[in-house]
């Protein structure tokens, strides 16, 4: 409460003294203003974490996290079916199956009997929903083969996924991690168990490159994509199987690997240097055209040193063009697109044709004229414009591999020319 002296002084100054209500309103107003200022400050700095929230890196914390993750993965692995569980399941299903139309089938009652006989691990998989998944709508039965195949494949897939998860802490596998996985798998492949150190090193590199090269990113791959890849199936086909004719075309087989690795080593003047020069690479195969090799080095190996990885890339492109046309096309189109304008014209064709004619002369084979060669090429692709073949023309034709092969290898040209001649004779 203000004294009469203070009130008199305020009155003489021309200001009216404030009563209790006004003073209270003034205090409330100041409080609201301060509150609004705080809100504006918080909104301004909403993306900023206060200093005391900054995470601190603790080696012990990271170690505990890694150990906990490994323990979790080990527990998951223990729950998977082992060979003993699978054998017990196979015997039980076979025991309760009935043959019908040369196929073993099992009804729901027999399915329940199997549940009672198998291990607890199998029981977790043999749920009614699994039976309904494979149930034939006509007779209500399930194919024993399909049921067992699904269970075994599921168990194998989960095991692979867990094994890969031990190698990484996220959803990606790096090139190094994939190489480690392949290295661990080699002892399980009878045909590869006795590989020498040098051969094993090259084998791991070429196997890893097959997984990565056609998938856009040459340095890493998703764990799930790796586990589901067709290449991993091909690699696992060799586990517990010795080499045979059925595996000769498998990229991961010993016979296939020897062809790739030995040719790379034999092309080198000095095998210790670990790369090929352009002159050495010209001896690749039996009919590689030097001009094609020159362009390949210009576009894909600018430093002039073809490492084993570069070499494997070219072999993969040559071998799997039909399976991976997009990646293969882009690789080879860069070689023939000399002027970088997306046009394959008469001058470009002449560049490769000179090398082709030179090779034919060396073999004392019948030469062809440039005009007839050019006419056949243009007739084959039917370009939109009369004076050049565009990139779009090749993509539209679905025969681009023919052009790349006959421009790069004289043997491919001879085969193509003979086929064209025979077709004309038969008309």
Q: Where are the domains of the chain?
A: 83-158, 169-258, 268-426
- Domain 268-426, architecture per CATH: Orthogonal Bundle (1.10)
* Distance (Å, whole) CA 308 – CA 260: 10
Q: Give the model's pLDDT for residue 134.
A: 86
3-state secondary structure of 99: strand
Q: Per the structure block, which two tokens stand in for 61?
A: 């914390």
CB 327 within 8 A of CB 210: no
The distance of Cα 45 from the centroid of its chain, to the nearest Å, equals 42
pLDDT number for residue 421: 60
Lowest mean pLDDT among 22-36, 367-381, 390-404: 22-36
pLDDT in tens, 346-358: 999 999 999 899 9
pLDDT digits (tens, 9 = 90+) for 21-59: 777 777 777 877 887 777 776 665 555 655 655 666 777
Alpha-carbon distance of 4 to 8, in angstroms, equals 6
1 pLDDT higher than 80: no
Half-sphere exposure of 233 (CA within 13 A, CB side): 5
Looking only at the bridges linking them, the beta strands covering 142-143 and 103-106 are antiparallel
* Residues near 412 by beta carbon (within 8 Å), at least 6 away in sequence: 287, 405, 406
Looking at the domain covering 169-258, what would its CATH class be? Answer: mainly alpha
pLDDT of residue 425: 46
Asked if the domains 169-258 and 268-426 are classified in one and the same CATH topology, the answer is yes
- Tens of pLDDT, residue by residue over 239-273, are 766 555 666 778 888 888 889 999 998 888 776 67
């Amino acid at each position: 409460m203000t004294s009469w002296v203070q009130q008199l002084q305020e009155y003489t100054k021309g200001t009216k003294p404030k009563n209790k209500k006004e003073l209270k309103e003034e205090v409330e107003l100041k409080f609201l203003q301060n509150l609004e200022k705080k809100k504006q400050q918080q909104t301004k700095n909403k993306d900023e974490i206060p200093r005391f929230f900054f995470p601190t890196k603790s080696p012990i914390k990271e170690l505990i996290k890694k150990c906990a993750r490994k323990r979790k993965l080990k527990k998951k692995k223990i729950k998977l079916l082992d060979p003993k569980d699978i054998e017990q399941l196979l015997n039980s299903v076979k025991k309760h199956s009935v043959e019908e139309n040369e196929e073993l089938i099992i009804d729901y009652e027999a399915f329940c009997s199997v549940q009672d006989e198998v291990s607890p691990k199998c029981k977790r998989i043999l749920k009614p929903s699994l039976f309904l998944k494979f149930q034939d709508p006509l007779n209500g039965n399930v194919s024993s083969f399909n049921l067992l195949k699904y269970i075994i494949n599921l168990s194998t897939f989960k095991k692979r996924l867990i094994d890969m998860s031990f190698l990484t802490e996220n959803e990606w596998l790096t090139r190094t991690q994939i190489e480690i996985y392949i290295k661990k798998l080699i002892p399980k492949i009878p045909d590869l168990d006795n590989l020498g150190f040098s051969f094993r090193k090259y084998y791991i590199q070429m196997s890893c490159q097959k997984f990565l090269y056609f998938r856009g990113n040459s340095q890493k791959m998703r764990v799930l994509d790796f586990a589901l890849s067709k290449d991993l199936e091909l690699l696992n086909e060799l586990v517990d199987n010795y080499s045979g004719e059925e595996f000769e075309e498998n990229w991961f087989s010993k016979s296939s690997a020897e062809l790739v690795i030995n040719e790379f080593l034999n092309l080198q003047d000095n095998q210790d240097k670990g790369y090929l020069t352009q002159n050495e690479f010209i001896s690749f195969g039996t009919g590689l055209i030097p001009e094609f090799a020159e362009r390949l080095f210009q576009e894909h190996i600018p430093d002039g040193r073809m490492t084993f990885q570069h070499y494997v890339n070219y072999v993969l492109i040559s071998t799997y063009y039909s399976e991976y046309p997009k990646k293969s096309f882009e690789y080879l189109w860069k070689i023939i697109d000399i002027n970088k304008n997306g046009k394959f014209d008469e001058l470009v064709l002449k560049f490769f044709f000179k090398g082709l004619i030179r090779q034919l002369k060396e073999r004392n084979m019948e030469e062809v004229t440039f005009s007839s060669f050019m006419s056949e090429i243009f007739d084959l692709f039917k370009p939109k414009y009369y004076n050049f073949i565009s990139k779009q023309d090749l993509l539209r034709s679905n025969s681009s591999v023919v052009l790349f092969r006959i421009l790069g290898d004289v043997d491919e040209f001879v085969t193509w020319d003979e086929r064209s001649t025979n077709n004309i004779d038969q008309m």
